[in-house]
Amino acid sequence: MSARRFDLRTLLALMAGVLMVTLMGMTVVDVIGRYVFNAPLRGAAELTELLLASVIFLGLPAVALADEHVTVDLVTDRLPDWIQPWRQGLIGIFSGAILAVVAWRIWIYAAQIGGYGGATTTLRLPLAPLGYFCAACTAFGAALSLGVPLWDLYRRRKG
Amino acid sequence: MEHWPVGLAIVGVLLLLGVPISMALAGVGLAGVAAIIGWTPALSLLGSTFFDTGRDYSLSVLPLFLMMGNFVVQSGIASELYNSAYAWLRHRKGGLATATVIACGAFSSVCGSSMATAATMTRIALPSMRKFGYPDQLSTAAIAAGGTLGILIPPSVILVFYGIMTQQDIGKLFLAGLIPGVIGIIGYSIAVRISIAWQGIDLPVEPKLPLLDRIRALKGTAGALILFAFVMGGIYLGVFTPTESAGMGAGGALLLVVLSGRFSFGGLVAVLYDTMKTTAMMFFILFGALTFTNYVNMSGMTRDIQAFLALFGDTPMVTILVILVIYLLLGCVLESLSMIMLTVPVFYPIVAAQGIDLIWFGIFVVMVTEISYITPPVGMNAFVLRSVVPDVRLGTIFRGLGPFVMMDVVRVALLTAVPGLVLLLT
Amino acid sequence: QTTLTVANWLPPSHPLVSELIVPMTEQIEEATGGTVVANILPAPLGPPPAHFDFAVNGVADITFGVQGYNAGRFKTTNIAELPFLGDSAEAISVAYWRIFEAMLKDAGEYDDVKVLAVFTHGPGEIFLKEGDVASADVMQGQKIRVGGGIVHEVASALGAVPVEGPSSKAYELLSQGVADGILFPYESVSFFKLIPQLSDAISVPGGLYNTSFYIVMNKGKWESLTPEQQEQIDSVTGEALARMAGQMWDNADAAGLAAMEGEIEVVTATDAQMEAWKAALQPVVDAKIAEAAETGVDAQAAYDMLKAEIAKETGGE
Ligand code: NA
Ligand code: NA
């Protein structure tokens, strides 16, 4: 598992690198273009929006992989140790279910947007593919949110 | 009264059981909306909330400022800055925490968002404060509270939003936010002292450095000052907007990493992976919060609050006090912008009819709803810290925030007693 | 009694809400003898572009918004947004509703909902921080804040440098000096608190563009009403609602213009400017009509009918 986690992480990290550098580079190119050459980057604002969504949703598997969903630990810290993996497992099922529903609904929504040819305002880039991408990332995040705590539980039970 | 109080209670229980905040809010929000309009439309609203909010241009500052913070750390600027600050402040107990609050105020003058301020300052300040022996309880609280200044000191997304919603002059709102912002900095500095005195925090105190050594230590601040001047100058000379300053600041910080000779491909990818992960954590909490807000919106909470407020007649002082209590209670579970959208449309005609100045009320609303960012169980700035540094317990952060919340209440009381402090500059 | 939920993404103080949506719900209640009432939600359920689908999917029963926010979805909208159509939002809106009924709805863009009205905002004018307002080249090189759609193309065609950003960011762009001006109706300049940021305005006869709006209802909800209720609602929506919307924008524009008194100097475009701009914008007009024709409607005929109906409305007053 740990080797696979590492490989997946490397892949996600490289994709993140490309997306984030583009996100940053676009503002820089737009501002320099506008200020120095009177020629801003056409569609910079909407490209920023598309990249933002890509970064957020691609980040979800990374969060789930590290089991780092933010939780309120005010009470749970005081529960006995033996209960923790079980609690984590139940929460993994809950989170996995919610994320699976979210993934499903984003997929449906993307299909709806694709149905009428929804696109960005200036560059007319189709929105549906981004929707499918976000849905796929969420589904992947759902599987990891469920799988990582259950795997830990299984390993602990085996000793 | 509708069933929204039940929804609030269920969220509270799920959170205490350790369900991820984003999932608890989204799950209860979805079920609540479904109870009102049925499952099919509720599910379609869920898809829209996650996908459409994820493409909000003004929210793009979050990952970009976070990236800037990461680069600032990687270039060594952050630790140099804190080394210099320590050289000047090491004989003062808690000096670095106070310096962090002031740095948050300075960063607020280029950033219009509380969460972005808290996220960036965590990256920059926390490692150095740990190095100098500051306990997490104090340093995280100083950052989370300092972050709430982001919205009061201009530029400020929420003040623009309030100005358009209530048709008040945005320039005046910005000016009105300045003095309360400075009072906030002073208040938080006092809170640092209170924390040290009451919470038994043990801090290192070293003898005062000779003036010459302290001046020599200033050398390390050059990088940070150049970056700050670049971002600040860019905004105030009209080269780029505050939203764009996030991207420009990140680009500038990356340039500093390269110039410092600390650039490496592996390091870059690690920073960007980390930024993406933190971005996802924060946004999924936001998506959950918005799903829950949709439920509260449909459930008639606004009408119930309006009816409740009407019980108290038309004495301005009483009205303001009741509104303060309502916000403090709602602030336990809702975040600032949601509360403003849900309540300001019904509150502002009422307070205006009682002769309360709407510029003053805007500052009041922003200050009071900002407290929600630092109160448990749903406190966005505390969550931001948790997502940037996952090894800190949330309980630690909220415990540390006690004195800061107290100073916020004192500040609100002061500005209510002396409204002139808000309106002086307008 | 049936309650219709109305989704609203604007502050309740906005004239589109207080002077149109609220009166509309009152008229529906009155026409149906109190059997159909409305509940306007206090806060937005999502960003403005999501609102058409809220009606399609039944998230809310009635929604309103701007077709241009859903690029790629509405092409017939182009016809009502073209330059130089007229100075009265009322006349344009009523004429727009008539060509919608007669021709545009055949494009099928609104088949998933019940349309209560389509209408347009008042004409878009030019607002600048500085510049030689009498020159035909006044727009050359000016950084102009634009949203999307036709405004972007109009600004480019006039030689301006388009600076993109949502309307909520207009204040930031102008106050920081990143943008030198904006194309907006009088109402919007005032509503978005931009008057202190601007000094000159050029009133363009006929307007540089219009913005098209819709008010629609969920189809299932509509079909759940009795035929009698449907007839009663039809009697206060459609052309009557489009007219009320146009009047609302005309009043809001007049109030916006009055608020500029002493703050912004408003001049009317010169004949030379109009000649130059009409020539510069002709390619935009042709392209937009061609795009509308892609839906299968006779876009040129619709455009001609729109202009004829506007003339009829304007002459009839
Ligand atoms: Na700020
Ligand atoms: Na809170």
The answer to whether A28 and A63 have CB atoms below 8 angstroms apart is: no
Average pLDDT on B354-361 reads 88
Q: Can you give the pLDDT at residue B35?
A: 92
Is B175 among the domain residues? yes
Which of A73, A102, A107 minimises the CB distance to B395? A73
* pLDDT for A102 beyond 50: yes
Which of B44, B167, B235 minimises the CB distance to C13? B167
State which residues form the domain around B307: 60-280+301-423
Q: Can you give the pLDDT at residue B132?
A: 84
The reply to whether A110 touches chain B by the CB within 8 Å rule is yes
Please report the beta strands in C171-295, taking only residues with DSSP state E, as ranges in sequence order: 181-184, 200-203, 212-218, 265-268
Distance B400 CA to ligand 2 centre (A): 14
Is B354 among the domain residues? yes
Q: Which residues of A touch C164 (CB under 8 A)?
A: 40, 43-46, 122
Distance C7 CA to ligand 2 centre (A): 27
Q: Which residues of C touch B52 (CB under 8 A)?
A: 46-47, 49-50
Q: Can you give the pLDDT at residue A95?
A: 92
Query: Rounded distance, CA C7 to CA C54, Å?
Result: 8
Is B326 among the domain residues? yes
The domain tally of chain B equals: 1
- Structure-model confidence comparison of residues B341 and B120, the more confident one: B120
Distance B154 CA to ligand 1 centre (A): 4
pLDDT tens for B38-70 read: 999 999 999 999 999 888 887 787 788 888 878
- Sign of the Cα torsion B219, B223, B226, B231 reads negative
Q: Which residues of C touch B164 (CB under 8 A)?
A: 11, 168, 171, 191-193
Domain spans of chain A, in order of start: 3-158
Q: Which residues of C touch A120 (CB under 8 A)?
A: 71, 148
Is B274 among the domain residues? yes
What ligand has the least distance to the C-alpha of B178? 1
Q: What percent of chain B has pLDDT over 90?
A: 16
Closest CA to B193 of B103, B263, B94: B94
- Structure-model confidence comparison of residues B200 and B355, the more confident one: B355
A42-51, B105-114, C7-16 — which is least confidently predicted?
B105-114
The answer to whether B383 and B280 have CB atoms below 8 angstroms apart is: no
Query: Rounded distance, CA C242 to CA C220, Å?
Result: 23
Q: Which residues of chain C have pLDDT under 50?
A: 317
Q: Can you give the pLDDT at residue A1?
A: 43
pLDDT tens for C188-244 read: 999 888 999 999 999 999 999 999 999 999 999 999 999 999 999 999 999 999 999
Q: Do B45 and C54 touch (CB under 8 A)?
A: yes
Q: Which residue of B has its CA nearest to C46?
A: B49
Q: Do C143 and A34 touch (CB under 8 A)?
A: yes
ipTM field: 0.90
Quote the distance between the C-alpha of residue A73 and its chain's center: 23
Size of interface A-C (CB pairs under 8 A): 50
What part of A 86-115 touches C (C-beta under 8 Å)? Answer: 109, 112
- Sign of the Cα torsion B385, B397, B190, B220 reads negative
**Distance in Å, alpha carbon of B346 to nearest chain A alpha carbon:** 32
Which letter, b or e, does each residue of B236-261 get, where b requires 16 or more Cβ atoms within 10 Å of its Cβ? eebbbbbbbbbbbbbbbbbbbbeeee
pTM value is 0.87
- SS3 string, B344-376, reads HHHHHHHHHHCCCCHHHHHHHHHHHHHHHHHCC
Please report the beta strands in C152-271, taking only residues with DSSP state E, as ranges in sequence order: 161-164, 181-184, 200-203, 212-218, 265-268
Please give the angle made by the CA atoms of C192, C195 and C196, to the nearest 5 degrees.
Answer: 115
What part of A 28-57 touches B (C-beta under 8 Å)? Answer: 28, 30-31, 35, 45-46, 48-53, 55-57
Q: Which residues of C touch B44 (CB under 8 A)?
A: 53, 57-59
